[in-house]
Amino acid sequence: MVSQIEKRKADHLRLSATKDVSFHEKTTLLECVELNYKCLPQISMNDVDLSTEFLGKKFSFPFIVSAITGGAAVSKKVNTDIAEACQAIGIGMGLGSMRAMLQHPSLTETYFVRDVAPDIFLAGNIGAAQLKQFSPDDLNGALGAIEADALAIHLNAAQEAVQPEGDADFSGLIEKIAEFADKISVPVYVKEVGHGVSYEVAFALKDTKIKAIDTQGAGGTSWTAVDSLRHKTGFGEIFRDFGLPTAVSLMQVKSAIHGTGKKVIASGGIRNGIDAVKALVLGADMVGSAMPMLKAQTKNGSAGIKKQLTDLKKEMEIASFLVGCKNIAQLHSEKPIILGKLKEWMEN
């Protein structure tokens, strides 16, 4: 049984890093957001400081490496490489679903990164559909064992629905999320896995104690596409392009939770610092991405991820400078220019 889980996790990593698992038709729609370029920014680029705090932890810039893995021997190396890079740069990371370690505690080791990353923001992870299988106490024990700072609950209806053996019973899960947000000993946030959180879902979660929503919108990695490679008999390929573009998801989530104090992470297809800054101008508190980090890790280990993150930070600083903003608060007061398909989508 353990080796079956290990095989699934290793398959996910290998297929994602080597095959085409991206959206084909749909994009993030961040290309429909223009930044208001100031050719005379009236600040020095040295004054740009994008450092921030998120759920009680400090970040040198507002970036989280999205959940990728846990549960296989190969996960240990991937998580350690990501964690080392995050510790060096001063940002946070999400671990992959903890289902494997909850079922097989011997796999806990594959998630543990505090030896190399004592200070980073570290999020544990579990699927919403699995909240029926485990108790808040089970999760609290597991989160304690890996010394996590938060729990990300992932919503992956599209992924479960296209798998031949997926668990697509999502009934009663808003209530379950509310219960876990109450009883988990660290802050809880909700994330998608690449098909986007909509207004309705964010609104339904508005009165729970979750602290943030991570859009994980369409336009980057398609989890239905990943599954189509694992299950030739499933419906993954047909649903490759299903979901809400990241820019749409971000604007809808912002609007749904307005005034609650909950934070928003923009993610799903964020591939450079300009897109990341566009997301901040649209109101995101943080940004995140998974695939570019996995690819950098596969090629060059921790050094590859460090280079990727250093470049991303610099790109974000340059983009902020070019719109005349020194920090995230100023970016939040910038007016985004919204064009084309994104404008049409938001008018619906």
Per-residue mark of binding to ligand FMN, 240-269 (x: CB under 6 A): ---------------------------xxx
Beta carbon of residue 232, minimum distance to ligand FMN (angstroms, whole number): 19
- Residue corresponding to tokens 């995140």: 288
| 257 versus 265: smaller Cβ distance to ligand FMN | 265
Beta carbon of residue 94, minimum distance to ligand FMN (angstroms, whole number): 6
Q: Which of 89, 161, 213, 290 binds ligand FMN (CB under 6 A)?
A: 290
| 142 versus 323: smaller Cβ distance to ligand FMN | 142
Q: Which residues of 76-105 are buried (b: 16+ CB within 10 A; e: fewer)?
A: bbbbbbbbbbbbbbbbbbbbbbbbbbbeee
The half-sphere exposure of 121 on its side-chain side, counting CA atoms within 13 A, is 30
Q: Which are the contacts of 203, defined by CB distance < 8 A and separation ≥ 6?
A: 256, 257
- The residue of the chain with the least Cβ separation from ligand FMN equals 220
Distance in angstroms (rounded) separating the CA atoms of residues 200 and 347: 16
Distance in angstroms (rounded) separating the CA atoms of residues 56 and 148: 12
Q: Per rule CB under 6 A, is residue 151 in the interface with ligand FMN? A: no
Q: Which of 52, 110, 125, 308 binds ligand FMN (CB under 6 A)?
A: 125
**CA-based max dimension of the chain:** 62
Q: Per rule CB under 6 A, is residue 69 in the interface with ligand FMN? A: yes
Q: Per rule CB under 6 A, is residue 196 in the interface with ligand FMN? A: no
Distance in angstroms (rounded) separating the CA atoms of residues 177 and 195: 19
Residues at the contact surface with ligand FMN, assessed by CB under 6 A: 12-13, 16, 66-69, 96-97, 125, 154, 191, 193-194, 216, 220-221, 267-270, 289-291, 294
